[in-house]
Amino acid sequence: MKKVSTNTLYCGLLGLAFVLHFGLLEQNPQNPIGIKYLTELYLAMCLGFSALFLVGTVGAERKDYSVAFLFCLFSAFTFTFLPALFAELFYGQPLVYGVIEERRVLLCFSVIPLLYLAKRMSAAQFENAILIVALGAVLLSWLCYFEVLPDLRDGMDLDLSRPGRASTGAFALIIGYCLSIYFWGKGRSPIDGSPRSGFQHGILALVFLATLVFVTQTRQVILLCIIFTFLCLRAKSVKLAVIGGLLISPFVIDPQLLELFGVNIDFYMESAQNGATDNVREATIAQVMDHLHEYNWVPSGSLSLMWNDGFKRYFSYYFFLSDVGVIGTLFRFGFLSIAIIPVSFLVYFKVAKRLNPSLDFTLAVFLAHLSIWPLQGIFEYQEGMTALLFVFQALKTFHTQASNEPSIKLPVQHGREPLHLA
């Protein structure tokens, strides 16, 4: 009974951590039920846990944690400290404001608490925790869509580009979709290789995708899911294309049917004609390139709205580096980008291979996210995703060793009996 209750506690804590990690209640213009400073609270907990855990553990027990911690230190220094330093040198912004502006990068430290909790349950329980939280995101998204839940946003924070849009836990929906598609296509776990139900998870993938298309309504996320599907299911691409064609054929015959689901047809038609961009993003890119040419590609860092209204004083009210992906990286690092970008990819690759030689599933997810790099910074705004993929990598090695060496107890420090892996 003690073992069951302890395992249940860890599963519950991991589920709560995923709710925070996936941003189901994160405050942003697209989330009607976001809670202010909740993400910052989660970030503080990750930083505190990482520091205490790494100080309190020694020896072989912390080997994979140490590898992951190297990734954290590299990301924190390169994408938090350096932009803050460059902004101080170029604009005179105090260093602390630059660190606050790039605080999302510090979500890389979430790899430590997530891995700690994940090691105290089976691979199936870890995967199910992700899917359950993703289904929670589905429920919350549709409840917000039908205005069942109250809208907690201020009037000035509303996103009016797509009426009815509710992006509640889009990160959870993406990972849930990718995991379900993998189960459907491969029929096994990406962590320990144990069998998984194909049909059941195929239905889940459709649920996640439908929510992304009709409720979240984010072009780059839909593109990401399509690319991951073809990367993961190359052998089933023809079959998948046929099924997809049959599903969308009624909407091709009569596009007005989409309006019944609240899809903004004019918005997507304009996107198809003009590309995944808008005048604001184009203006920001033009301003960034003009700035770089004017100052000979000197690193400029990033400014915080908390310091003299940030970039508004120098560019425009709608100038945000978060809107322009890799262009924002070029603005932060200038001529140093030619070294920082490839070195960062190399570090990510080396860390992933050190955690486990097999990049199955994790590489496909990461490459799919690269497809939206022109619109969202992979280094500055996707560190939570990268941290989760490194958790997958570490768990592959952990569960492989546990299955090959029956004498290993999970976890040793609590003196519990080994968990039965799914």
**H-only helix segments in 254-314:** 265-274, 279-294
Least confident of 94-103, 176-185, 327-336, 412-421: 412-421
**H-only helix segments in 77-162:** 82-91, 95-101, 111-118, 123-145
CA dihedral for 290, 291, 294, 299, sign (positive or negative): negative
> Largest alpha-carbon pair distance within the chain?
69
Reported as a single tens digit per residue, the pLDDT across 212-259 is 988 887 888 888 998 899 888 875 555 555 555 555 545 444 455 555
Give yes or no for a contact between 118 and 395, defined as CB atoms under 8 angstroms apart.
Answer: yes
Please give the C-alpha separations between residue 92 and each of 180, 300, 308, in angstroms, as whole numbers.
48, 11, 11
Give yes or no for a contact between 239 and 202, defined as CB atoms under 8 angstroms apart.
Answer: no
Least confident of 20-34, 35-49, 253-267, 367-381: 253-267
Amino acid at 337: S
Average pLDDT score, the chain: 84
Between 407 and 306, name the one with better pLDDT. 306
Give yes or no for a contact between 18 and 172, defined as CB atoms under 8 angstroms apart.
Answer: yes
Compute the distance between CA of residue 64 and CA of residue 354 in angstroms, rounded to an integer.
8
Reported as a single tens digit per residue, the pLDDT across 370-392 is 988 888 889 999 999 999 999 99
Tokens of 392: 């997958």
Compute the distance between CA of residue 382 and CA of residue 365 in angstroms, rounded to an integer.
12
Give per-residue burial for 285-311: e unless 16+ CB within 10 Å, then b. Answer: bebbeebbeeeebebbbbbbeebeebb
Band (pLDDT 50/70/90 cuts) for residue 158 is low
What angle do helix axes 337-355 and 362-370 make, rounded to 10 degrees?
A: 160
- pLDDT value of residue 243: 53
Give yes or no for a contact between 14 and 126, defined as CB atoms under 8 angstroms apart.
Answer: yes
Average the pLDDT over 325-344 and give the result: 95
Average the pLDDT over 111-116 and give the result: 96
Look-up: residue for tokens 């072989």?
Answer: 60
- pLDDT value of residue 22: 95
Look-up: residue for tokens 């069951």?
Answer: 4
- Report whether pLDDT(182) > 70: yes
- Report whether pLDDT(412) > 80: no
Least confident of 100-104, 351-355, 403-407, 408-412: 408-412
First and final CA of the chain: distance in angstroms?
A: 20
Please give the C-alpha separations between residue 136 and each of 63, 132, 170, 287, in angstroms, as whole numbers.
34, 6, 11, 40
pLDDT more than 90, % of the chain? 56
Band (pLDDT 50/70/90 cuts) for residue 345 is very high
Least confident of 94-103, 247-256, 278-287, 352-361: 247-256
Between 30 and 356, name the one with better pLDDT. 356
Q: For residue 212, give the nearest of 185, 184, 187, 181 by alpha carbon.
A: 181
What is the H or E stretch that residue 107 is in? none
- Report whether pLDDT(116) > 80: yes
What is the H or E stretch that residue 164 is in? none
Average the pLDDT over 139-144 and give the result: 92
Band (pLDDT 50/70/90 cuts) for residue 416 is very low
Compute the distance between CA of residue 403 and CA of residue 420 in angstroms, rounded to an integer.
9
Least confident of 86-95, 227-236, 392-401: 227-236
Q: For residue 396, give the nearest of 192, 169, 174 by alpha carbon.
A: 192
Average the pLDDT over 69-78 and give the result: 95
Average the pLDDT over 60-82 and give the result: 90
